[in-house]
Amino acid sequence: MSRVALVTGGCGFVGRNLVRSLLADNDEIWIVDDLSTGRHPDEWLSPEDRGRVTFIEDTAVMVFGAAPDAQPDWPEFEEAYHLASIVGGRKNIEEQPLQVGIDLAIDSLFFSWVWRSGRVGRVLYASSSAAYPVELQGTDGAVALEEKYIDFASNQIAMPDMTYGWSKLTGEYLAFLLARQHGVPTCSIRPFSGYGEDQDLTYPVPAIAARAAAREDPLVVWGSGHQGRDFVHIEDCVDAMRLAIRAVEDGSGLNIGSGTLTSFLEVARLFADLAGYEPEVHGTQTGPVGVHARYADVTESEKRLDWQPRISISEGFGRVLAARERELATG
């Protein structure tokens, strides 16, 4: 029997990297993506791999809002990875909150489709660390975020990070209900600050890397620069996702992070060191920066998945810098 996987949002940054990994041991991949931020598979897949990919260029709302009997040619999916969402860095989250709120519709229609269609064996929902309570991420009293701070079984939730956080928290609840009420093996993962070589410049790591590649001096970051995040390379994120979809069935969530808090001033200094120059590094004191400190407790992921990040921040940032330097060299 052939193995077929479904990836919604499969043309975005995370989706592309996931699809490449899935192609190694699946016979066929189906992708649903409207290309609002993603790239067409013809741009990033080899001709051989494109022959094993069915690409549906449409919005998730339209595709999964249709009745299952309107999709008679769809196969049975051994796994479904639900990544589709509207996001584009901190600026979009803060300046377009109602647009981001469309994610509520995307997730509700997707989970309803899984339940009604009966075509999916196992489901992974790509949530976010933005679902965690913002009260635990301030300048005073920030803590390593543990999975227990979002626990639907014991009614444990609190205010997440804007509409993006609310949509992810609600999506996780739908995943929990899909597993509990309908018996579909389901998990949620909460990636922290994922980054990689082909991430677009609306995200801070590639944007700072591009400035370092151009040897900008001063090398600046948004805000004070003292705000910090937990950075994890996309390859490690994908590895954890593929482990989680098979290890977790009860709709619960797991962190994907390094467990280390790194400030944006430290990020800029590391890129300068990797680029081999010594600029002045400081914050702009402007721009959207979000919560002050967001980092993961990874104890549960290590225990339940036997997973730890393989790529150090120095190695990962070095790869991102090299990619930006290649872009500069080729114009």
Residue 1: band (very low, low, confident or very high) from pLDDT cuts 50, 70, 90: low
Q: Classify residue 286: in a domain, yes or no.
A: no
Cα–Cα dist 124/79, whole Å: 8
Q: List, in sequence order, every beta strand (DSSP E) within 214-259.
A: 219-221, 228-229, 231-233, 250-256
Give the residue carrying structure tokens 């700072």.
Answer: 208
Q: Which residue range is the domain that position 189 belongs to?
A: 4-195+231-258+295-310
Answer for the pair 284, 226: CB distance below 8 angstroms, yes or no. Answer: no
Cα–Cα dist 86/104, whole Å: 10
Q: Classify residue 278: in a domain, yes or no.
A: no
Cα–Cα dist 328/307, whole Å: 35
Cα–Cα dist 324/211, whole Å: 9
**Count of the separate structural domains present in the chain:** 1
Quick one: which of 274, 181, 263, 194 has its CA closest to 223? 263
pLDDT at 266 over 90: yes
Quick one: which of 87, 89, 142 has its CA closest to 290? 89
Q: Classify residue 162: in a domain, yes or no.
A: yes
Taking only Cα atoms into account, the Rg of the chain, rounded to an integer number of angstroms, comes to 20
| pLDDT of 87 | 73
Residue 280: Cβ within 10 Å count: 11
Cα–Cα dist 153/176, whole Å: 9
Residue 2: band (very low, low, confident or very high) from pLDDT cuts 50, 70, 90: confident
Please provide the average confidence, as pLDDT, over all residues in the chain. Answer: 94
Q: Kindly report the CATH number assigned to the domain that includes residue 63.
A: 3.40.50.720
| Cα 34 versus chain centre, distance | 17
Q: Classify residue 320: in a domain, yes or no.
A: no
Determine which of 116-125, 204-213, 281-290 has the lowest per-residue pLDDT on average: 281-290
Cα–Cα dist 323/53, whole Å: 27
Answer for the pair 293, 266: CB distance below 8 angstroms, yes or no. Answer: no
Strand partners, 82: 8, 125
pLDDT at 89 over 70: no
| pTM score, whole prediction | 0.95
Q: Classify residue 277: in a domain, yes or no.
A: no
Q: Classify residue 153: in a domain, yes or no.
A: yes
Q: Classify residue 285: in a domain, yes or no.
A: no
Determine which of 163-167, 179-183, 252-256 has the lowest per-residue pLDDT on average: 163-167
Segment 246-256 shows an average pLDDT of 97
| pLDDT of 63 | 95
| pLDDT of 88 | 61
Greater pLDDT, 90 or 106? 106
Q: Classify residue 283: in a domain, yes or no.
A: no
